[in-house]
């Protein structure tokens, strides 16, 4: 899998600026949309992209013709290795970037995998070797389905997989069916309710906020009658388990309401979650809801309330990761927004100490915490304190630790753009436009919308800079998350 350097192409590609790269991505995406509308084949879309954008290589152009990100290509290739019963190698976005820009050539094995992932021939990707006939395919191995070999499908075929969007109503349906068997509740119902809350928390970022809010709301509603029945019959263990699940589901609803820009709803749901956390003695839940309430207050410019909720959460949070999260997510940001630099630095140091003391150091899901989130909160604090270079470094670290196109990636990218707004306005605008190109309006959280609003205000003096006017207009015409009649509009 040796990748040979291509010095001439590397020198040519090095002259393309980051802002021009962003323009190329946007123009290619527009060509892809036109091709989709007119029913173009991928090769025809590729020809249109390379005709309009001569800087684009065949390898990069094919990916753009499919409208894939580099992260999607890397994930597809890893999936192909696993389907072949092999451990995926260490392919990364940066390696693919070097191949696309002509800095290196992929080795034979990677070239074959790129052909399989894209459903293309080597010559179509610019990967044919000297003397190799045009049209030479890279045939995929026989497919295996449920343990039985089948005839290979047409080139580039990929078996569709069940998405978590399909899994959302299935989780609720399982709980409903269990309740049909035991309307008054049972240990199995309590266990299913806990599993449902965990499922929603772990897959929180994979769904538009409105879609997930509706599911969580419906699931929580199913628990009202069994909880009342367990309370009447003094079934303490079952009632405690159901109350705990109601608490976590309410916490999720509060977070989702916040991401839909419904601050009043968020406060109501989080207050319910806080109450149930105290009732069942789940201090981690109660502490987390304090952090979430601090987040809502901070977004609403209620700085004293934000710090008060943060301090309350720290009195409840267990040591290690939960306390690290409260220090960074709530206390640090509230202090930074108040301009209390020394105390903010102390909160940051405390968060680092708690993370270092935790044996695991990170945990997935909405109630978890990881390096990407920690770096994001640190970047936001540095930004509030006027430390632009430190904010940019930590935002870039957060961006590198996230999956491209996710809400976490959007948050880090927009925070990085804000850190660059004064010194590199063209790059800042290009980053924000990339977020708008990659993430549909329905998936833009209120936090992303707030960051976009602040960024456009910070870039307003630089309207003559490339991309700034376009960004301002696209932010202006974004549909509201919720219309005046209470419906999701995006």
Task: Return the closest-CA partner of residue 333 out of 369, 382, 391, 402.
Answer: 382
Q: Which residue has the higher pLDDT, 271 or 400?
A: 271
Range 340-344 average pLDDT: 97
- Rg value, the chain, Cα: 25
What is the distance between the alpha carbons of residues 347 and 333, in angstroms, rounded to a whole number? 9
What is the distance between the alpha carbons of residues 35 and 29, in angstroms, rounded to a whole number? 10
CB 278 within 8 A of CB 248: no
Share in percent of the chain as helix, strand, coil (round to 5): 70, 5, 30
Q: What is the pLDDT of residue 1?
A: 41
Range from 58-72, 90-104, 378-392, 441-455 carrying the lowest mean pLDDT: 90-104
Q: Which residues contact 213 (CB under 8 A, 6 or more apart)?
A: 253, 256, 257, 260
Q: What is the pLDDT of residue 489?
A: 63
Q: What is the pLDDT of residue 131?
A: 58
Q: Which residue has the higher pLDDT, 149 or 22?
A: 22
Encoding tokens for residue 431?
A: 């980053």
At 203-252, the pLDDT tens digits run 999 898 999 999 999 999 999 999 998 888 766 778 899 999 999 999 99
Encoding tokens for residue 457?
A: 């205000």
Q: Which residues contact 450 (CB under 8 A, 6 or more apart)?
A: 299
> Does the pLDDT at position 12 exceed 70?
no
Q: Which residues contact 188 (CB under 8 A, 6 or more apart)?
A: 178, 182
CA distance to 226, 238, 435, per residue, from 230 (Å): 6, 6, 47
Biggest CA pair distance of the chain: 82
Q: What is the pLDDT of residue 202?
A: 93
Range 388-411 average pLDDT: 92
CA distance to 1, 95, 122, 142, 354, per residue, from 89 (Å): 10, 12, 21, 21, 33
What is the distance between the alpha carbons of residues 468 and 458, in angstroms, rounded to a whole number? 10
Encoding tokens for residue 142?
A: 């026989």
Q: What is the pLDDT of residue 162?
A: 47
At 18-54, the pLDDT tens digits run 788 888 988 998 898 888 877 788 888 999 999 999 9
Q: Which residue has the higher pLDDT, 159 or 49?
A: 49
DSSP per-residue string spanning 14-29:
TTS-HHHHHHHHHHHH
Q: What is the pLDDT of residue 151?
A: 36
Reported as a pLDDT band with limits 50, 70 and 90, residue 136 is: low
> Does an H or E element contain 381, and which?
helix 371-384
Q: Which residue has the higher pLDDT, 339 or 108?
A: 339
Other Cβ atoms less than 10 A from the Cβ of 364: the count is: 12
> Does the pLDDT at position 2 exceed 50?
no
At 421-480, the pLDDT tens digits run 999 999 999 999 989 988 888 889 999 999 999 999 999 998 888 889 999 999 998 888
What is the distance between the alpha carbons of residues 234 and 475, in angstroms, rounded to a whole number? 54
> Does the pLDDT at position 124 exceed 90?
no
Q: What is the pLDDT of residue 231?
A: 83
Q: Which residue has the higher pLDDT, 322 or 152?
A: 322
> Does the pLDDT at position 165 exceed 80?
no
What is the distance between the alpha carbons of residues 246 and 196, in angstroms, rounded to a whole number? 11
Encoding tokens for residue 244?
A: 């705990």
Orientation of helix 425-438 relative to helix 468-476, angle to 10°: 40
DSSP class of residue 486?
A: S
Q: What is the pLDDT of residue 157?
A: 31
Q: Is the whole model's pTM more than 0.75, yes or no?
A: no
């Amino acid at each position: 899998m040796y990748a040979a350097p291509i010095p001439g192409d590397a020198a040519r590609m090095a002259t393309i600026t980051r802002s021009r790269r962003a323009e190329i991505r946007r123009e290619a995406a527009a060509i892809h949309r036109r091709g989709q509308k007119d029913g173009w084949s991928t090769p025809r879309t590729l020809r249109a992209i390379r005709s309009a954008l001569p800087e684009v290589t065949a390898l990069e152009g094919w990916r753009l013709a499919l409208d894939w990100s580099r992260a999607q290509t890397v994930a597809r290739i890893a999936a192909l290795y696993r389907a072949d019963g092999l451990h995926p190698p260490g392919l990364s976005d940066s390696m693919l970037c070097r191949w696309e820009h002509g800095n290196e050539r992929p080795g034979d094995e990677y070239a074959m995998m790129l052909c399989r992932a894209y459903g293309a021939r080597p010559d179509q990707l610019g990967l044919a070797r000297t003397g190799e006939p045009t049209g030479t395919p890279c045939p995929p191995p026989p497919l295996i389905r449920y343990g039985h070999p089948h005839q290979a499908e047409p080139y580039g075929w990929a078996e569709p997989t069940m998405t978590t969007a399909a899994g959302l109503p299935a989780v609720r349906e399982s709980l409903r069916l269990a309740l049909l068997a035991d309307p008054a509740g049972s240990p199995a119902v309590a266990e299913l309710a806990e599993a449902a809350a965990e499922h929603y928390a772990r897959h929180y970022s994979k769904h538009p906020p409105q879609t997930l809010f509706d599911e969580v709301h419906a699931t929580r509603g199913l628990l009202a009658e069994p909880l009342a029945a367990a309370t009447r019959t003094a079934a303490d263990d079952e009632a405690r388990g159901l109350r705990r699940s109601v608490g976590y589901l309410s916490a999720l609803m509060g977070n989702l309401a916040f991401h839909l820009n419904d601050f009043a709803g968020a406060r109501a749901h989080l207050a319910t979650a806080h109450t149930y956390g105290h009732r069942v003695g789940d201090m981690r839940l109660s502490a987390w809801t304090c952090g979430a309430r601090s987040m809502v207050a901070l977004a609403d410019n209620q700085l004293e309330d934000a710090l008060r909720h943060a301090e309350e959460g720290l009195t409840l949070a267990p040591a290690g990761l939960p306390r690290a999260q409260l220090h960074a997510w709530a206390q640090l940001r509230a202090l930074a927004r108040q301009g209390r630099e020394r105390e903010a630095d102390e909160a940051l140091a405390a968060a680092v100490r708690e993370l270092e003391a935790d044996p695991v150091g990170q945990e997935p899901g909405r109630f978890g915490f990881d390096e990407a989130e920690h770096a994001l909160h640190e970047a936001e604090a540095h930004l509030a304190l006027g430390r632009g270079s430190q904010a940019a470094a930590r935002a870039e670290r957060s961006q590198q630790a996230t999956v491209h196109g996710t809400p976490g990636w959007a948050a880090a990218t927009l925070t990085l753009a804000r850190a660059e707004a004064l010194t590199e306005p063209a790059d800042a605008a290009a980053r924000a436009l990339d977020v708008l190109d990659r993430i549909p309006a329905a998936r833009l959280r209120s936090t992303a919308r707030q960051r976009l609003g602040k960024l456009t205000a910070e870039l307003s003096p630089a309207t003559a800079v490339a991309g700034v006017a376009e960004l301002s207009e696209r932010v202006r015409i974004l549909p509201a998350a919720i219309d005046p009649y209470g419906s999701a509009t995006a």
